[in-house]
Structure 1
Amino acid sequence: MIRTARPAEAEAIAELHLRARSTYYPDGLPEDGFDWVARWREAVERPDGHVLCAVRDARPVGIASFRTPEEGPGELVKLFQFHVDPDHWRAGIGTALHTACVERWQADGRRSAVLDVHVDNARAQAFYARQGWVPDPENPPAAGDHHLYLRYAVRSGE
């Protein structure tokens, strides 16, 4: 089941987020100093944000966090976080979660979405390519940057 995340799930979401992120850092997950539980609670409670979660056995196994600007239809959607618990990879959760995001963007009248992905996260890059994401022509890779910027065209009635 995919639904809107609840503030009470912030701790479980933060744990999932950190497990997923740790898979693509070759030297281990860097200490960033963030209180990820508080950050996820804020993301869930933001009036301009959306956090969808895929749930199995009453626990989040996939999460997607995005914001849509208030300026009106056609504006970009910014996908901030998209993670599937590594214990649940290759089970269709990511594809179902992505589909739910796209359906929400379509319902909101959005035409495109952007995200950045870590250069060492080959698995995510391949996933996004399969979903139709392409390099963002407005944000080409910069020397030394550890992110790749991708864009997705949201088609009406997709």
Structure 2
Amino acid sequence: MSVVTPPTTGLRPAGPDDLDAITDLHSEARTAYYRAGGWSEPELTTAETWCDRRAAWQRALTGGHRHILCALRDGDLTGVVSMGPPADTDLDATTAGQLYQIHVRPDCWGQGVGSRLHAAYVRFLHESSLHTGVLEAWERNTRAHAFYARHGWHQDGHRRPGPGGADYVRLRLRTPGGEG
């Protein structure tokens, strides 16, 4: 009888050479969750929106204020996490850190990649002496909301308009010793 071992997910800092792979992964994951939420506008997959995403990731990779990690299995990019200071001005950067994005390749959903990336974010909060995590999630992304709820996140009432007539909602995570 042979024992099947699940693939291991390694993490490493993202670099400029990862730009196109991260953009592709983000595009694939974003398209999957927006379509699952009932929004399938053609703009999800245009070359122009891919270029816009690539430019945003390039700014994130070179801007110096975000920490970006890649998740890899057998050398293949399976996920990415981006974190740093809070984007909203109503949040105190001395106590809160933002989870800008977690994206996992859809064919790897449910395999622990997102949880591994989330654990890296919680470690970032701890190492930065931050007690509150914040993120935004599209309200129709039920998969993301279930994932974050399992990890202790809750809505804080802040909303902003999003695509498809649905809002982005802000979620908070209180870490040990925090007030979140």
Q: Which TM-score applies when normalising by structure 2?
A: 0.76
CA change 1:126–1:113 in 2 (3 A) is same
The Cα of 1:140 is off from its aligned counterpart by 5.5
Which one has the bigger helix percentage? 2
Residues matched between the structures, number: 152
**Is residue 94 from structure 1 mapped to residue 106 from structure 2 by the alignment?**
no
Question: Structure 1: any 5+ residue segments left out of the alignment?
Answer: none
Report if the CA contact (8 A) 2:33-2:141 is conserved: yes
Aligned to 1:151: 172
1:59 and 2:89 are equivalent in the alignment: no
Structure 2, gaps ≥5 residues long? 1-9, 87-91
Identity of aligned residues (%): 36
1:21–1:29 CA contact under 8 A, matched in 2:
no
The 1:9/1:30 distance shift into structure 2, 3 A limit, reads: same
Partner of 1:46: 63
Counterpart contact for 1:12–1:59, Cα < 8 Å: no
Per-residue deviation, 1:27: 3.4
Instruction: Give the conservation status (yes or no) of the 8 Å contact 1:65–1:81.
Output: yes
Specify which of 87, 103, 113 is matched with residue 83 of structure 1: 103
CA 1:155 to 1:38, structure 2 compared with 1: closer, same or farther past 3 Å?
A: same
Distance 1:112 1:131 in 2: 13
Partners of 1:47 and 1:141 lie apart in 2 by 26
Determine which structure has more spread, i.e. the larger CA radius of gyration: 2
Instruction: Calculate the aligned-residue CA RMSD, in Å.
Output: 2.2
CA contact (8 A) 1:73 1:108 kept: no
- SS of the counterpart of 2:43? coil
Verify the 8 A CA contact 1:62 1:85 in the aligned structure 2: yes
- Cα deviation for residue 107 of structure 1 reads 0.3
Matching of residues 1-158 of structure 1 within 5 Å: 1-25=10-34, 26-28=38-40, 31=43, 33-34=48-49, 35=51, 36-68=53-85, 73-74=94-95, 76-137=96-157, 139=158, 145-155=166-176
Instruction: Output the TM-score relative to the length of structure 1.
Output: 0.85
Q: Which residue of 1 aligns with 2:3?
A: none
Q: Would you say the 8 A contact 1:10–1:38 is kept in 2?
A: no
Runs of 4+ in structure 1 off by over 6 angstroms are: none
